[in-house]
Each structure stands twice: as C-alpha cells, then as structure tokens.
Amino acid sequence: MNKKQDEEFQLTVKKHYIWGEQYDWVKDPKRFEKIFHGMRLRVFLKELHKWLSASDLKILDSGCGTGFITRCVKSEVVALDINLWNLKRIKIYVGRADLVQGDVENLPFREEAFTSVICTEVLEHIPNPSLAIKEFLRVLKRDGLLIGTTPHVHPIWFLRKIFLTTHPANE
C-alpha cells in the first residue's frame, strides 16, 4: 500500500468510527466475546484501581465507546468519543459522566484539564497514534497519569477475529 492509499484507508476507517459503528460494547457481546470482554474488563479494573487514587478528581475516558470502562470509574469522568451514537448509548449506563463528542487526535480541552486519561483499545484504530498521545499529555496535569491499553499479540485476539469482527477489514 502506498502513502496515498494508506491515507485514504485511514480516512475510511475514521469515517467508519464516526458514522458507521453501532456496536454496544456493554450490551451486544454474546458468548465468546462476552466472556472475552468481561475478562478484559476485570483485569483492567483491577490494575486501574491500583493506580487511581482519591486525588484523581477529573478523569478523561478517551474513546469511551458505549461506556465499557466509564461506567466503572468512581471519580468525576468525562467520556469522549468520536461517535455520537456511542455517546447517546452511554447515557443508559452512566448518568454522572460529562459526554463530549471529539477526536483523540485533536482534543477539545484546555491544557492540564485532567488528573488522569484512560485510553483503552483506541490507538490501534486511529491514523496518527503519536498525535493522540501528544494530546493526552497536553490535557494531563503536570503529575497526571496516562493509563492505556492496546491489543497484545496473543492467540485470544486471533480467536476474536474468527468469532466476531466489528471494525473494517485490514485495519
């Protein structure tokens, strides 16, 4: 794939996440995927609670989807997603979050607005992950905490592709 084809593909992927994806990560997973995401959530939350403290007054859940992580965060949380459908769905699960439609590559927040930024399973879906990380660092307080995950090269991810894929092919 040449550079122009890659840029066109990345734009197609971004458009998919803005307008096309309508998958409720809280309600829709069935069978294998429900078990998989339940295990992933338990592992993540166990680690998250080790890192977060009472001083984490304002948290950004960046690329929140339909609130898979947001609904489990006890602190004040801002849920950001590029997809308006996701934000409408998150209201079902999380009444206390501030909801913001936005792009992780261009966050609509002032500098040092958050004590922590959470970004799980998002960076692998965007055209410029390094730009998103720069944005996370910009909106974090000086001693803030960036907590993120991306898929690991592990057989479970291969199996997930066999059972259910909700994102564009070859992403």
User: Residue 78 in contact with residue 60, Cβ under 8 Å?
Assistant: yes
Beta strands in 24-169 (DSSP E): 58-62, 76-81, 98-101, 114-120, 140-149
Digit-coded pLDDT (tens) for 88-109: 998 888 877 899 999 999 999 9
Grade residue 169 by pLDDT with cuts at 50, 70 and 90: very low
Strand partners, 1: none
| Residue whose C-alpha is closest to residue 138's, from 99, 110, 118 | 110
Mean pLDDT, the chain, rounded, equals: 81
Grade residue 168 by pLDDT with cuts at 50, 70 and 90: very low
Residue 40 DSSP class = H
User: Residue 60 in contact with residue 109, Cβ under 8 Å?
Assistant: yes
Strand partners, 140: 114
